[in-house]
Amino acid sequence: MTKMKLSANMKKVLNDQILLEASASNSYLAMASWCEITGYQGAANYFYAQSDEERTHMLKIVHYLNSLGTPATIPAIKAPVSSYKSLEELIKTALKNEQSVTKAIHHMVEITQKEKDHSTYAFLEWFVNEQVQEETKFETILQKFDLLGRDKLAIHEIDKLLAADAASVESDPPA
Ligand code: FEO
């Protein structure tokens, strides 16, 4: 059986998505490092795990393209922002990042529908669901600042919650 062929446009957006996932991984790594150096060890563990998770997202697309005989393009990644005013600002940035990733995924889904590319549509379904989870995760953390406050004690509590979440991210089955 001959392999399905991706359209030029589909190849482009999938390769662009490799860059987005790689950039997310890099950005979360920088966030983890900032948290670690600032004394938020729970948040640091959380973002180190999150960075690894984004790398698995990137790899999924690399493997998908390669499996169709379309060589994946491994991109250069820009240096991420390396310092933040507060943990809350950092989480807000992470949520914004996820929102733009969601937009890109939805855009790709629209292309698969237009092109009747059922295989890529099915492949992207996992990402659509994953994005709902990722946005919810960061929204839930942000709510904690409103619920618990922003003083040192509250941030310490939030850091502890993130430590517990980090343990669950690490134990997620590999994507
Ligand atoms: Fe892979 Fe968080 O988007």
- Return the CATH number of the domain spanning residue range 8-171: 1.20.1260.10
pLDDT of residue 172: 61
Q: At residue 170, does pLDDT exceed 90?
A: no
- DSSP secondary-structure letter at 5? -
142-172 exposure pattern, b = at least 16 Cβ within 10 A, e = fewer: eebbeeeeeeeeebeebbebbbebbeebeee
Give Rg (Cα) of the chain: 18
* Average of per-residue pLDDT across 153-162: 97
- 62 C-alpha to center of ligand 1: Å? 14
* Average of per-residue pLDDT across 81-99: 97
Q: At residue 175, does pLDDT exceed 70?
A: no
pLDDT of residue 3: 75
Share of the chain above pLDDT 90, in %: 93
Q: What is the largest CA-CA distance in the chain?
A: 63
Residue 167 pLDDT class (50, 70, 90 cuts): confident
Residue 14 pLDDT class (50, 70, 90 cuts): very high
- 70 C-alpha to center of ligand 1: Å? 22
- 153 C-alpha to center of ligand 1: Å? 30
Contact 131, 102 (CB under 8 A): yes
Residue 168 pLDDT class (50, 70, 90 cuts): confident
Closest ligand 1 atom to residue 98 Cα is 2
Note the pLDDT tens digit of each residue in 39-82: 999 999 999 999 999 999 999 999 999 999 999 999 999 999 99
Give pTM, 2 decimals. 0.94
Contact 48, 77 (CB under 8 A): no
Q: So where are the chain's domains? A: 8-171
Residue 161 pLDDT class (50, 70, 90 cuts): very high
Q: At residue 12, does pLDDT exceed 80?
A: yes
Closest ligand 1 atom to residue 58 Cα is 1
Q: What does the alpha-carbon distance between residue 134 and residue 128 come to, in Å, rounded to a whole number?
A: 10
81 burial via Cβ count (<10 Å: 0-12, 13-18, 19+): exposed
Q: At residue 4, does pLDDT exceed 70?
A: yes
